[in-house]
Structure 1
Amino acid sequence: MSTPNYSLAVALAAARWSNHETARRINERAAQHGHRHIAVHHTRVGRWIRLGEKPNPPVPELLAALLTEHLGQLHTPQSLRLLRARHLRIPLEELEHLVLIQRATAANLSVEDYVRGLIRTVLRDHLCL
């Protein structure tokens, strides 16, 4: 199941860049930095937004830098949700899994987003992140 990338959509809307303009700017910056193999098409930008697809490096870094310069506020590949997640498998008992499903449903979140929030809370609270 795909999840739209609202962070990227909001940043591009703030910049007032269309998908065409975004692709053009990325391609131009890539060429300036010697990345001759990069040729982002506007349809790909749309897929990043609508489907949450993740571009290959160095595109996330290039786009974050372009938006930072244009908008005058820091944007990172992480804040734009352009980096591929590292997957973690945790074996759960059936009852644990059912409880997670119930709590995620009550919070109107996917199980993945709910668990991600739980893990981030624990990391912040116990590791002072």
Structure 2
Amino acid sequence: MRSPNYALALAFAEAGWSNSDVARRVNALAVKRGHTGVAVGRSRVSRWIRHGEKPRPPVPELLADLLTAHLHRPHTPDLLGIGPTRSVLIVLKPNEHRTLAERAEAANMTVEHYAWALLQLALRSAAP
């Protein structure tokens, strides 16, 4: 089982949308844009959040566009944790991994999610 998608859950909570609201909005925008094969239900939205499942295209872009319009700031599939998966292998010394694991536990996060959050923070602060 994958980790929950906290970024997506937080964005929906900030928007004030239930899983049913999300499904209804995605389906309506899909129809408006001519995507006839999109049929999202509330249980599917729940799996995106609770199990970290990733929606198939064009849904990631639709979600990002809906949240961008509603919250008045840019959202992307990558920022929502539903973009294309890319893996990075980082080799740590045992003491570095131990420190990372301790800090992740203190933050009530998995080591993977904590490392991802640190990397995102570093990339944002290094951006021109």
Q: Measure, in 1, the Cα distance between the counterparts of 2:14 and 2:120.
A: 30
Q: Measure, in 2, the Cα distance between the counterparts of 1:68 and 1:118.
A: 23
Instruction: Structure 2: state its 5+ residue gaps.
Output: none
Residue pairs, 1:99-118, within 5 angstroms = 99-108=95-104, 110-113=110-113, 115-116=115-116, 117=118
Residue pairs, 1:91-106, within 5 angstroms = 92=91, 96=93, 98-106=94-102
Q: Measure, in 1, the Cα distance between the counterparts of 2:12 and 2:82.
A: 13
Instruction: Structure 1: state its 5+ residue gaps.
Output: none
Aligned residues: 122
- Higher Rg: 1
- Structure 1 residues 35 and 110: alpha-carbon distance in aligned structure 2, compared to 1, 3 A threshold: same
Q: Measure, in 1, the Cα distance between the counterparts of 2:87 and 2:43.
A: 27
> What TM-score does the superposition give when structure 1 sets the normalisation length?
0.76
Instruction: Tell me by how many angstroms 1:15 deviates.
Output: 1.8
Aligned sequence identity (%): 47
Instruction: Tell me by how many angstroms 1:84 deviates.
Output: 3.4
In the alignment, what sits opposite 2:72? 72
Instruction: Give, as a single letter, the amino acid of the residue that structure 1 aligns with 2:100.
Output: A
In the alignment, what sits opposite 1:53? 53
The CA RMSD over aligned residues, in Å, is: 2.5
User: Deviations for 1:6-30, whole angstroms, at most 9, x for unmatched residues?
Assistant: 2211221222211111111101111
> What TM-score does the superposition give when structure 2 sets the normalisation length?
0.77
